[in-house]
A and B are shown apart, each in its own frame.
Chain A
Amino acid sequence: MAKLLIEARNIKKRYQMGEVIVYALRGVDFTLYEKELVVVLGPSGSGKSTLLNIIGGMDRASEGEFYFGDFHLHEASERQLTYYRRNEVGFIFQFYNLMPNLTAYENIDLSAQIAENPLDIDGLLEQVGLSERRDHFPSQLSGGEQQRVAIARGLAKNPRMLLCDEPTGSLDLASGIQVLKLLRDFCDDYQKTVVIITHNTEISKMADRVVYLKDGLVDKVEINDSPLSAEQVSW
């Protein structure tokens, strides 16, 4: 049995929009184990990005309890949340969010610098297949290449988990498959937890576990006994 990494109970998130209160999450129970690849699936507005932001320490829940190991994240200070993001979480975004004026290598180094136990940058570049392009700036790279740099950057800190928000959302199929393969490999090779948020149901076929969100609630959770490899996925 894999070790429990995150446990969230009855997470609620509400926004005040003028006089109306809008609920993004209405009471989500969510667990995350070590070394698993989880896909959170749901239509637009189901609350999946909000959930990811809360798990990643970028946002706070309005209500509910949220533990990272023994650490109560819902009571954490801003500084504690920063250190949580620094040491435990790697982020991958749909729009890459690379530093435009740093080269591929430097973008990864920026992340490695602040980590306690960073991974070797050249090794990561080789694994994402961009050794040749280490000195290129983001504007000189394709979307797929930029996303691969983003993955290497997310991993460079050697975090316990990698949180990916629509990582293939802006990519063509071939680049998307490449990115998914990398995520699967990292989950297996580095024994990391990977969470992918997507509305693309095909991607869920490569997950160990699939969490379905609907209207701010967990609709169902499926365990996938025989996940597909990234190459087998297509959309």
Chain B
Amino acid sequence: MLWKKMFRDILSSKGSYLACLVLVLIGLVVFTSFSILRENLSFSKEYFYREQNFAHGFVELECMPRGEVERLSRIEGISDISGRMVKEVRVHELRPEASVYLKLVSLDLAELRRVNDVLLLQGDELAAGEEELDAWIDNQFFEANGLELYQELEIIAGGSLKRVTLAGVGMSPEFTYPLRDLKEIYPNPEQFGIAFLSLEDMEALFPETRGRVNDLVFTLEPGADFERVKERLETELEQYGLRTVYPREEQVSHLILTEEIKQIGNMSRVLPLLFLFIAGVILYIMLKRLVEQQRGQIGIMKAFGYTDTEVVVHYLSYALLVGSIGGIAGGIIGIVLAAPLTGLLLEFFNVPEVYESFALRYLLTGLLLSVAVFLFSGYHGCKQVLKLKPAEAMRPPAPAFAGKTFLESVHFFWEMLTIQGKMAVRNLSRNRSRTFFLFLGIMVSCAVVAMTWSLNDMIDKLIFFQFEEVETYDAKITFNAPADRKKVERELQGVPEVMWAEPVLEVPVKLSHRWLEEDVLLLGLTGPGRLYNILDASGRRITPSEEGLILSERLADNLEVSIGSTLELESPLLHSDDDKVEVVVVEIVPQYVGMNAYMELAALEEILKRGELATSFLVNVGDPPAAPEGGGGDGGNAISALRDRYREAGMVTGVDGREERLEQTRELMETFGVAVYLYVFIGVITCFSIIYSASFITLSERSRELASMMVLGMTTREVFAVITFEQWFVSVFAMVAGLPLAMLMQWGFAREMTTDLYTVPASLTPESFLMALLITTLSIWLAQRFVLRGIEKLSLVDVLKTRE
């Protein structure tokens, strides 16, 4: 019989219970799907790493005899080591509108346990020594460019056009997130891919590399210390122009994939708890109110002989029902969503889909979690039942003492309020815990929306600061080796499309300060240049210094240096007379993508003592006077012309248009927008549920008061205004308080997200906060429309005839 009572009670307040249910549901969907997703990704990743013998350490160097690899394999701690030749080449005429690059990685076919082995998805084994050059191509590049098996690709290797046959399609744990350079945020498989060739075919492409390698990857024996192995390798490889030795933890693909898994794990814990907490508080308030309302009924039940436990269990069954329905439904939806989400992410990260099913475990955990939270809040909501004696319960409660509130002593404020306003303020101060919950809920919702919305701005800033503020050239011409600067300058002067050109010298360096060291690219720039701007925190342009280095903030933090500190600089490009040189830090600037050091070009050349060099040229283009009509001012035609001009040039790796990169990044960013809207939706739902339940509790609690006002002759709108005044009063303060919370959340998020690859700026833009205000206001307004309907339905006669 009590079940019937429960169902009818729930039906009579179905809106509020539904709001609770929706919140639990969202919480559990996020919990189950994200937890399973995290497990699946971890499992697939580990499986992939294990099967393909993914390296623990990576070495980049100028070049060394291949025979030396065998010797290195005897270093204590190294399990397997593979020597490779890695080269970047341009693909000829695959896409007419843009430069397409391939990173070629050699594979030693004779090796038994190859490190970073390739998983062949389709096609044939690589054959060595045949006349035809065979390659395996990475699956994303293969699909993005609509390639076919056994198709021939033309590449420009060592200054001449070569043909490579696509013998197979594969994937490697080393390139789950392939970035051409660290200034990119997303992989761009249309224009950058990986190709694997046998050592012999690689040597056929680059005869000058015969018998040599420029890249090593190694795995460690169980329990071996990477740092000790690194020290040994540094000593052994110094003579071969060692550039860097770094552990798996710093490998870009691994770093990003691991970070992503970590974040999914964090979200799977934080978000569900937030939702369950809010739902729990709503349920607590509702049950507390229900017990107060049903005081008489509780008295009767007790008078009949129901025990305290039976009555409490009856009221707990409300919590149990909502918790279990929400828990089971949320869990099931979560499980259903987990599979496509896993597929999507694994595809994005280019990891083969291999995982076990963890569904049941999370379904049960989620269910237990939601039931536990609800039973806890439900028990606290209805524990007052225990205190009531039957006779006492059947009498109305003694009226609560209603004194003056603190705000009444603020006379000017108090006098400003209408009677309705005074009622509202007193109601709020008398239901402090509820007011606090309302405040908290709206504050959090507003902050979540503001923070999420500003993620857009944040990412915008991250990318567009680099592509619009820092880099202002039209195109970048990159060379495959440091070139004679003056010679190139003279060449470019004769090119009609080039209006302005500035050289850049990119030098791989190791910077050390005390025991800290970082491998970065040092950019030598002409100062004052106009195509690459070094900007300080306030956006002011800084001229590259002749006196010392300008460091990015992250780099300065990592090295624990400040302006005036002295660093040691090592580089394979340093003149052989110099082991290392000392340089002073003259400026520290923000940099959102990548981590670099900067110096005036001539000063850098002086340090290197290798003459006047450039590794690339930044150019501004214009259509030459003879260009056909409709050439436009965007330089698109001029860049194409430039690309055509150097298509066959051996020393030019590529001509990249800045606008094109910006456009591609923008396209890639659109997927990110969906996630933002999802979070905004979650914020709206939360805010709506809170206001909706709070309003309905108010409506049921104060129906008598509201009906009295209507009998006095107030219109429904006027009565409605009393409730909404209360809510707006709290909401305004809550939304304002949402601003610092959003900033705090943003700061935490930025800290969490910042890696050596990106520095996420923690800036909350006014637009995103205004948007949050607008969205929060809208969801409050929407929830209140339902309350208005509730007031319109109030039966004056029924409410007022009953005894309080």
Contacts and interface: CB of A to CB of B under 8 A. Distances in A.
Interface of A: 49, 53, 56, 58-59, 79, 82-87, 89, 91, 93, 95, 97-102, 106, 109-111, 113-115, 137-140, 153, 157, 165
Given A86-B713, A97-B708, A114-B714, 7 more contacts: A85-B710, A97-B800, A99-B709, A100-B402, A101-B423, A106-B423, A140-B401
B796 interface: yes
B483 to A, nearest CB: 83
A114 B711 contact: no
Interface string B370-406: 0000000000000000000000000000011111000
A85 B713 contact: yes
B402 A111 contact: no
27 contacts: A58-B796, A82-B710, A82-B716, A84-B713, A85-B711, A85-B713, A86-B712, A86-B714, A87-B713, A89-B713, A97-B705, A97-B707, A97-B708, A99-B423, A99-B705, A99-B708, A100-B705, A101-B423, A101-B426, A102-B422, A106-B422, A110-B712, A111-B712, A114-B718, A140-B402, A153-B712, A165-B801
Interface of B: 399-403, 418-420, 422-423, 426-427, 430, 704-705, 707-716, 718, 796-797, 800-804
A77 B420 CA distance: 26
Given A82-B713, A99-B708, A53 B419 contact: no
Nearest to A58: B796
Contacts of A93: 800
Contacts of A83: 713
B168 to A, nearest CB: 78
Nearest to B426: A101
A102 B405 CA distance: 12
Given A95-B803, A139-B400, A157 B713 contact: yes
A185 B403 CA distance: 33
A182 to B, nearest CB: 19
Contacts of B800: 93, 95, 97
A43 to B, nearest CB: 16
Contacts of A86: 712-714
Nearest to A106: B419
Given A58-B797, A82-B710, A114-B712, A137 B419 contact: no
A98 B399 CA distance: 13
Contacts of A114: 712-714, 718
A91 B708 CA distance: 9
Most buried by A among B401, B403, B422, B718: B422
A100 B422 CA distance: 12
A115 to B, nearest CB: 8
A93 to B, nearest CB: 6
B419 A102 contact: yes
Nearest to A153: B712
Contact of A101 (B427, B713, B716): B427
Contacts of A99: 423, 705, 708-709
Nearest to B712: A111
A85 B713 CA distance: 5
A153 B711 CA distance: 12
Nearest to B714: A114
B801 A49 contact: yes
A99 B402 CA distance: 11
A94 B87 CA distance: 94
Nearest to A115: B713
Given A102-B419, A109-B419, A139 B402 contact: yes
A148 B571 CA distance: 95
B804 A59 contact: no
A97 B420 CA distance: 16
A102 to B, nearest CB: 6
A86 B804 CA distance: 24
B68 to A, nearest CB: 87
A190 B797 CA distance: 28
Contacts of B401: 139-140
Given A91-B711, A95-B803, A110-B419, A100 B399 contact: yes
Contact of A95 (B399, B709, B804): B804
A38 to B, nearest CB: 20
A59 B707 CA distance: 13
Most buried by A among B427, B796, B802: B796
B170 to A, nearest CB: 74
Nearest to B424: A101
Closest 4 CB pairs of A and B: A86-B713, A139-B399, A101-B426, A137-B402
Nearest to A81: B713
Contacts of A91: 711-712
A85 B419 CA distance: 19
B673 to A, nearest CB: 46
A101 B402 contact: yes
A110 B715 contact: no
Given A58-B796, A138-B399, A157 B712 contact: yes
A85 B800 CA distance: 15
Contact of A82 (B402, B426, B715): B715
A111 B718 CA distance: 12
A43 B659 CA distance: 89
Contacts of B705: 97, 99-100
A168 B401 CA distance: 25
Contacts of B423: 99, 101-102, 106, 110
Contacts of A102: 419, 422-423, 426
B172 to A, nearest CB: 70
A99 B705 CA distance: 6
A58 B797 CA distance: 7
A140 B404 CA distance: 12
Contacts of B803: 95
Nearest to A110: B419
A114 B712 CA distance: 9
Nearest to A86: B713
A82 B791 CA distance: 14
A59 B794 CA distance: 12
Contacts of A85: 710-713
Contacts of A49: 797, 801
A102 B430 CA distance: 12
Contacts of B712: 85-86, 91, 110-111, 114, 153, 157
A58 B710 CA distance: 9
Most buried by A among B403, B419, B705: B419
Contact of B704 (A79, A97, A109): A97
Contacts of B402: 100-101, 137-140
A82 B419 CA distance: 19
Given A100-B399, A100-B402, A101-B427, A113 B419 contact: yes
A153 B419 CA distance: 14
Contact of B715 (A79, A87, A97, A113): A79
A54 to B, nearest CB: 10
B672 to A, nearest CB: 49
A118 B714 CA distance: 15
B450 to A, nearest CB: 34
Nearest to B718: A114
A98 B704 CA distance: 9
Nearest to B400: A139
A59 B704 contact: no
Contacts of B707: 97
Contacts of A137: 402-403
A230 to B, nearest CB: 25
Contacts of A82: 710, 713-716
A157 B711 CA distance: 12
A102 B708 CA distance: 13
Contacts of A59: 796-797
Contacts of A58: 711, 796-797
Contacts of A89: 713
Contacts of B710: 82, 85
B793 to A, nearest CB: 12
Contacts of B718: 114
B796 to A, nearest CB: 5
